[in-house]
Amino acid sequence: MNKESKIYVAGHRGLVGSALIRRLRSLGHNNLVTRTRHEMDLMDFPSVQNFFSREKPEYVFLAAAKVGGIHANNTLGADFIHENLTIQNNVIKSAHDAKVKKLLFLGSSCIYPRDCPQPIKEEYFLDGKPETTNIPYAAAKIAGILACQAFHKQYGDTFVSVMPTNLYGPNDNFDLATSHVFPALIRKFHEAKTGGAPTVTVWGSGAPKREFLHVDDLAEACIHLMHTYNQPDILNIGTGEDISIQEFAEMVKDVVGYEGEIVWDRSKPDGTPRKLLDVSKMNDLGWKANIRLRDGVASTYQWFVASLKTA
Ligand code: GDP
């Protein structure tokens, strides 16, 4: 992949896609192709086929997906499985037909068995049942990985799959009904501070542990792999460190400068108890995460406050 290579980022307005675009641009890539949902519906196979045969991108980052937090996943399973299977099927087949040089598919750490040993090694893939709150989403991502591997095996396509841990950063979804815990807590503590609320309600018991990766670190990892990695074997991308939801809530509270109390709503699900990725393969391939969690909370909080002013 060089500066003139034609690169298509599917999902360029989302958390991951927008980070990829920022990073590719800053590296001097000047032949990026994007389409808004209005310009091309990734759910519509003829439109996607037509786009690929006309534009003939050489490299594809497949970052378009329907994503959401524990509540959205638990209640909108039909949408998650249907939309993700359709989008990835359309893009993967079209990329194959258009003979792209390489495609990188964004999976998720939720594909792994819920109760597997920690930290999670890539080899645990398909060794057990994923966490039930997000099984339709996990099933779609599992199918995406298997599709990439099958196209590699049957046709020799260079379709690579990566499994990022829980991501955060600019352009995240801050809607409390559908978001992940990271943006939800930024918003909740900010609104409680500015509104003078005495308490903030955080879901579950606080005991589950999560690993959080800044999306700019992920973008760097994906671009590094686009240059260096051609194997069908999946790769974990994370920091290698996790934190309990309780400790995380205290951290966000502190960064935001909120002085009230945290209340735990135990009627909400905890989800998987832990999903810490083993990132030694990525480290061996020459990448490691750079952005410390507290710095990432602070910069994402600043971004969120700025976005309220421009909204
Ligand atoms: P998960 O990693 O797929 O479980 O997705 P989430 O990021 O949505 O949730 C992670 C953990 O944070 C779960 O244990 C949630 O119950 C907990 N959590 C605490 N407060 C919130 C909140 O306000 N929103 C969300 N989405 N999760 C929360």
- Look at the chain and report how many structural domains it folds into: 1
Q: Answer whether residue 311 shows pLDDT above 80.
A: no
87 close to ligand 1 (CB < 6 Angstrom): no
Q: Is residue 17 part of a domain?
A: yes
Q: Answer whether residue 6 shows pLDDT above 80.
A: yes
Question: pLDDT at position 50, please?
Answer: 98
Question: pLDDT at position 95, please?
Answer: 98
Average pLDDT estimate for 151-174: 97
Question: pLDDT at position 15, please?
Answer: 97
Q: Is residue 65 part of a domain?
A: yes
Question: Closest Cα partner for 292 from 229, 216, 234, 237?
Answer: 216
Confidence of residue 280 (pLDDT cuts 50, 70, 90): very high
Question: pLDDT at position 101, please?
Answer: 98
- What is the rounded CA–CA span in Å between residue 271 and residue 208? 8
Confidence of residue 125 (pLDDT cuts 50, 70, 90): very high
User: Active site includes 137?
Assistant: yes
Average pLDDT estimate for 99-111: 97
Which residue's alpha carbon is nearest to atom 3 within ligand 1?
70
Q: Is residue 47 part of a domain?
A: yes
Average pLDDT estimate for 229-245: 98
Q: What is the CATH number of the domain that holds 31?
A: 3.40.50.720
Q: Is residue 195 part of a domain?
A: no
Confidence of residue 213 (pLDDT cuts 50, 70, 90): very high
Q: Which atom of ligand 1 is nearest to the CA of 270?
A: 14
Which of 15, 66, 67, 70 maximizes ligand 1 atoms within 8 Å of its Cβ, making it the mutation to test the pocket? 70
Q: Is residue 221 part of a domain?
A: yes
Average pLDDT estimate for 141-149: 98
Mean pLDDT for all residues in the chain: 97
Question: pLDDT at position 170, please?
Answer: 96
> Which residues are 75's β-sheet partners?
none
Q: Which of 137, 168, 229, 301 is catalytic?
A: 137
Q: Which atom of ligand 1 is nearest to the CA of 73?
A: 3
Q: Is residue 303 part of a domain?
A: no
- Give tens-digit pLDDT for 256-279: 999 999 999 999 999 999 999 999
φ and ψ at 23, to 5 degrees? -70, -45
Interval between CA 249 and ligand 1 midpoint (Å) = 11
Which residue's alpha carbon is nearest to atom 18 within ligand 1?
203
Q: Which residues of 82-94 are buried (b: 16+ CB within 10 A; e: fewer)?
A: ebbbbbbbbbbbb
Interval between CA 166 and ligand 1 midpoint (Å) = 10
- Give tens-digit pLDDT for 183-208: 999 999 999 999 999 999 999 999 99
Instruction: Identify the burial level of 26 via C-beta atoms within 10 angstroms of its C-beta, where 0-12 means exposed, 13-18 middle and 19 or more buried.
Output: exposed
Q: Is residue 182 part of a domain?
A: no
Q: Is residue 311 part of a domain?
A: no
Q: Which residues of 207-241 are buried (b: 16+ CB within 10 A; e: fewer)?
A: ebbbbbbbbbbbbbbbbebbeebeebebbbbbbbb
Average pLDDT estimate for 9-14: 97
Q: Which domain holds residue 39?
A: 7-172+212-239+276-292
Question: pLDDT at position 310, please?
Answer: 81
- Give tens-digit pLDDT for 17-47: 999 999 999 999 999 999 999 999 999 999 9
181 close to ligand 1 (CB < 6 Angstrom): yes
